[in-house]
Structure 1
């Protein structure tokens, strides 16, 4: 289980489970069994406070829960150049909306936006159809995001990994997460494990500066600039326009969801996260529904309003209530 894990990762793992010895003892032991590795030359690039950050993904991470469930995901990595302060986020995909969500969260976690951010040639950033070898072209949505956030995007030159060394060193450090293989309960636990690992890294002495990153962050924050969170958050939201039908329903993923009848024939905007569908009209939230596998999804208030406006508009409340109850039950039972 511990193959490929660093001594530091093993130390934190067994410390949580009662180990009271020193980390140096464990390191000495690991040195006796560590496989020989090839030393590589590196180029250190130092930056001034607030100047830059670097971004990457640790892709296709595969771990197994203690129940045998195979979980595949990715880790978003963000490192400030001066302080070496880090932000890490576990994700199940590498879509552009997820990328924007991670980057905005990184700004929140570190206290602001640097002047420039370095990226590799990942497709959520670079338009490969318009790019030539050695001359990447950023895609339009990303350019707009960078403009709204207030940073200059810089693409790392192909085959020049030293220009993005800080974040690639962090990618190697995430190997310590392997120590949790077969130890977590469910996939969502990995988000907390990644958060814990990031916090540990920010409190450890940086090999480059010999100072824990969190101790240098206050100085770097003085040079980071503020940003409009709501403006950037919109990039992480999947917004789609839908016209409300005569049934007072909208369609999402081939399923129907109800809205108040006053929006019939109007165009509304929908957003969603993993669990909830949000319906907006002129920027105002008018409905939210749990995302459901059911073909028809009515809120009781909406169905009652529909019934009162048409079939049963002259009936008493009890008759309407009974009708609504029967129909809601029927829709719940439909596949």
Structure 2
């Protein structure tokens, strides 16, 4: 029986044979026996074998679940592994990474169909680096651009910022709402630190609590740009490039103080007067059609931002700060408040109004109460116990009962 040869070895036999080398000589040169050489010269190439059927893998029963989580924007392998373990997965982390790796590449490279939003539905926000400011003595300060773009009309508001603090971000939002004449129903963000905190153990979004309160104040819903899908925010990112390429490079102002007003004027006299390359509409005219669909801002107060630590008032009308608990008016139970600490004094604010002042307690785990805060406070409601709570009644140890007069004599130095 002829032995099995590789394709390259068969090629060598055929080449020698075409060159007129005898079979016996080929056998001596290659080491193959005469029967094998004659077989391959007569039959040709060795048979090609198809790929083996893939063996079942531990991840196979969970593929549909994983695809669903990826569509929901959950790409964190640690989070996904924990969820799979809860569902009975017995494989390892490397097998999951092997599953995710090609899908992550595909998500980065896939061509994204442009998603057009109805009027008033969505806007998109981003920070972009515009350059730096020379402050003398070789010092430079970064200059940032804030861009908010409405998804339907492509109307753009662009503002200048010298830092990226949360209060600046909120103020720029309100300025954009004022210029546009309303608030979109939802706003899309990337993973800005002032907006996005992280994903919880279930892969759900954790927003910055103060920013979430700001969104609730104005009535819009924040949305997060999915991971590995930067194309989703192309309307804004191209707006940043447009500002850099058409305003920054052509700016003729003599000092930085004139830049914000110059940018705003350019935005409304140039950028929003052009015919948009994708929609084919004059942006200002499309904005006029979109404005009736925006949430109204007439009569709406500015967000009462107060710098400080954010806390929520407990049901018993106390706020915790550095392990101690401080009273507030009981009517504010459940409300968010800001705590400002200044030289041993705590000022507490709700919706921008100061509602309590305390001296900061030097101890730990102390209760600091102003009786007026809890005057008229109703008792906790009574009723049947919740079926979800466990109630245990423990037998108390028996103790000797003495009249109060015995303790009075003992405190005066006598015998009880």
Calculate the TM-score normalised by the size of structure 1: 0.55
Q: 1:73 to 1:132 in 2, by over 3 A?
A: farther
Q: Is the 8 A contact 2:181 2:297 kept in 1?
A: no
RMSD: 3.8
Distance in structure 1 (CA, Å) of the matches to 2:148 and 2:200 = 24
Q: 1:121 to 1:179 in 2, by over 3 A?
A: same
Partner residue, 2:265: 196
Using the TM superposition, give the Cα deviation of residue 157 of structure 1 relative to its aligned residue in structure 2, in angstroms: 0.8
Considering Cα pairs closer than 8 Å and 6+ residues apart, tell me whether 1 or 2 has the greater RCO.
Answer: 1
The answer on 1:169 being equivalent to 2:238 is yes
Partner residue, 1:207: 277
Greater Rg by CA: 2
Deviations 1:3-52 (A, max 9, x none): xxxxxxxxxxxxxxxxxxxxxxxxxxxxxxxxxxxxx9653221111110
Task: Identify the range of structure 1 (91-100 vs 212-221) with the bigger mean alpha-carbon deviation.
Answer: 212-221
Distance in structure 2 (CA, Å) of the matches to 1:110 and 1:196 = 14
Q: Is the 8 A contact 1:150 1:227 kept in 2?
A: no
Q: Is the 8 A contact 2:150 2:156 kept in 1?
A: yes
Using the TM superposition, give the Cα deviation of residue 171 of structure 1 relative to its aligned residue in structure 2, in angstroms: 1.1
Q: 1:186 to 1:134 in 2, by over 3 A?
A: farther
Count of residue pairs brought into register by the alignment: 215
- Determine helix, strand or coil for the equivalent of 2:158: strand
Q: Which of 159, 163, 168 in structure 2 is aligned with 1:93?
A: 163
Distance in structure 1 (CA, Å) of the matches to 2:299 and 2:189 = 21
Using the TM superposition, give the Cα deviation of residue 64 of structure 1 relative to its aligned residue in structure 2, in angstroms: 5.6
Deviations 1:161-184 (A, max 9, x none): 121111011011112233246x43
Partner residue, 2:40: none
The answer on 1:53 being equivalent to 2:123 is yes
Q: Is the 8 A contact 2:130 2:248 kept in 1?
A: no
Q: 1:186 to 1:69 in 2, by over 3 A?
A: farther
Distance in structure 2 (CA, Å) of the matches to 1:79 and 1:174 = 12
Superposed counterparts of 1:135-150, under 5 Å:
135-150=204-219
Distance in structure 2 (CA, Å) of the matches to 1:266 and 1:70 = 36
Q: 1:50 to 1:63 in 2, by over 3 A?
A: same
- Determine helix, strand or coil for the equivalent of 2:197: coil
The answer on 1:43 being equivalent to 2:116 is no
Distance in structure 2 (CA, Å) of the matches to 1:233 and 1:81 = 24
The answer on 1:81 being equivalent to 2:136 is no
Partner residue, 1:219: 289
